[in-house]
Structure 1
């Protein structure tokens, strides 16, 4: 009987433990210093996770070796906005974030290319591999 009680206690402990203690998992939790944020951006404007959600997708590792893009100036890919971000038209592009966060905000979601513009900021973040303008 004691063994059964011990086993039940162990099962309850396992079931009560979160499967993933971090809300972001492999995407990493976004850490920022409020005093280093651009003027007009508050901590409430900052996204929860550092990396772009598509990094966690099966094609994710390719984001680090992303190809240059010479087509449209902005668009929607797999539910997220991107934009060409180099004035010299070198093919560099970035994932965009909500304007209110000036690069630190949530990643912009979309269903159509027309929902994404070149005026959206590129995602920013310390130690963020999927942030910034590159190819």
Structure 2
């Protein structure tokens, strides 16, 4: 079910990017606009897929690809604010790229800590929460 919602949010983000390319960037050529908006949306999905692939390496961390998912979501939020203003832009950004990023991560299992027998979860989120003092850091996490 989260894949369907992720696709819907990605489509919402794409529609906003399509309008932004015409209204703010002056791209009136259909092919140019299609390539422009599709590039950002595909990059977001591809980054989530790459982060998932990183879970299969020995350290079992999502790495820079997972960070890129959120960077792309932030950048893809800009057209929502340009098109719809502060209130509408917040709604558009939330139900477009931000929820797309969150739902793609959920659909691909990136939000679940990965543990292999005898090793501690060493993801960036765990390290960040440990640094903030929210969770206790295991000895293997600090390496």
TM-score > 0.5, shorter chain as reference:
no
Please tell me the TM-score bracket, short chain as reference.
under 0.3
So what's the TM-score if we normalise by structure 1? 0.24
Which structure carries more helix by proportion? 2
Greater RCO, CA 8 A, separation 6+? 2
Which structure carries more strand by proportion? 1
Structure possessing the higher radius of gyration over alpha carbons: 1
So what's the TM-score if we normalise by structure 2? 0.23
